[in-house]
Homo-oligomer: A and B are copies of this chain.
């Protein structure tokens, strides 16, 4: 059943005959399993007119009518909730900031009512929510759904996020590092849909990355794989909350920029840049240099096909993307310099929340009967 769902995902629509060919299962088995999936309302039949003779074929695709997935992104100062169908189409989105609230209780006071409202709406329509996917700053214990001790994120250390959400909303919850959900959104719905290995770099209050190889999130031994924000980029730089010194995050994140150019917020900084303030221009140039160095290190260490840039800082620097790509070309191994694709994130502020829905889809595809209860 899992194999069939993954095939349908890959091709959007597929015939039973094609499923027999691609899975190696017998046509009897394909008939039985697809019938069961149709009864579960996970897939349905579509009529398709093929070829010149106009012969009708019956194709199988996801049934987009019954199941819904909620994706929640918990940021360091904001949140986003999306509702999707089984094809990852965004049906609804809600965003907001947490208005100075800190720690889980403060966040739930703001986010809780929205989650309740969305859940009740779906139920009122007679539809079913498959699960709740959550992107949140790492590091974390993904399996257990417990945050470890995310830097710059007070009050969340050791918080059993998965357990709390499952109890609160009665839905299966999948908890994932927000950089990894962002990468997954790009891999499942965006630039990596054809299977490219990619690194998603998210730059905001912190800096992190999600790395996808062979279609899967890479986590490492302690779930620290991809902590690019904590590579040393200023050898004699300041101490970081992670324990290291001169981390990219300490200088290249929103916090890092506003520490170097003390002006309140990013809009004030950008105004100073546009007005030609020499300190602001120098700070922007430094920020781009840090980014450039970090990207070179990412290329030489991960060697991905695509690097995607996103996060709340990114809109402020997106205009420099062609310049950065050009500078990278000048610093990469000559034979590979034209092969690294630097791209902006596909889903903007919904990136992590969209990826959070993809974590639930992945769970559904891997263990359909268990996830559908």
Contact = CB atoms under 8 A, between A and B. Distances in A.
Interface of A: 139, 148-149, 197, 213, 218-228, 230-235, 242-245, 289, 293, 296-297, 299-305, 330-337, 339
A330 to B, nearest CB: 7
A227 B300 contact: yes
Given A302-B301, A303-B221, A303-B222, A331 B244 contact: yes
13 contacts: A139-B335, A148-B335, A149-B333, A221-B304, A227-B301, A231-B297, A232-B233, A242-B300, A243-B331, A243-B334, A245-B331, A297-B297, A297-B301
A238 B333 CA distance: 16
A306 to B, nearest CB: 9
Contact of A234 (B149, B197, B235, B336): B235
Contacts of A336: 221-222, 224
B235 A289 contact: yes
Contacts of A339: 221-222
A336 B148 CA distance: 10
A333 B339 CA distance: 33
A199 to B, nearest CB: 10
Most buried by B among A139, A197, A293, A336: A336
Which of A149, A213, A223, A303 is the most central at the interface, judged by chain B CB atoms within 10 Å of its CB? A303
B335 A222 contact: yes
A219 B297 CA distance: 16
A57 to B, nearest CB: 37
Contact of A335 (B149, B303, B335): B149
B148 A224 contact: no
A125 to B, nearest CB: 43
Given A243-B334, A339-B222, A231 B303 contact: no
Nearest to A148: B335
Contacts of A218: 213
A330 B297 contact: no
Contact of A300 (B224, B299, B332): B224
Q: A-B pairs with the 10 shortest C-beta distances?
A: A220-B303, A224-B303, A222-B336, A227-B300, A225-B303, A230-B300, A231-B297, A244-B331, A221-B305, A232-B293
Contacts of A221: 197, 303-305, 336, 339
A286 B277 CA distance: 37
A223 B304 CA distance: 10
A212 to B, nearest CB: 12
B293 A333 contact: no
B302 A225 contact: yes
Contacts of A224: 299-300, 303, 333, 336
Given A221-B305, A232-B297, A242-B333, 15 more contacts: A139-B335, A197-B220, A220-B302, A221-B304, A221-B339, A226-B301, A227-B301, A228-B300, A230-B300, A231-B297, A243-B330, A243-B332, A243-B334, A244-B300, A244-B331
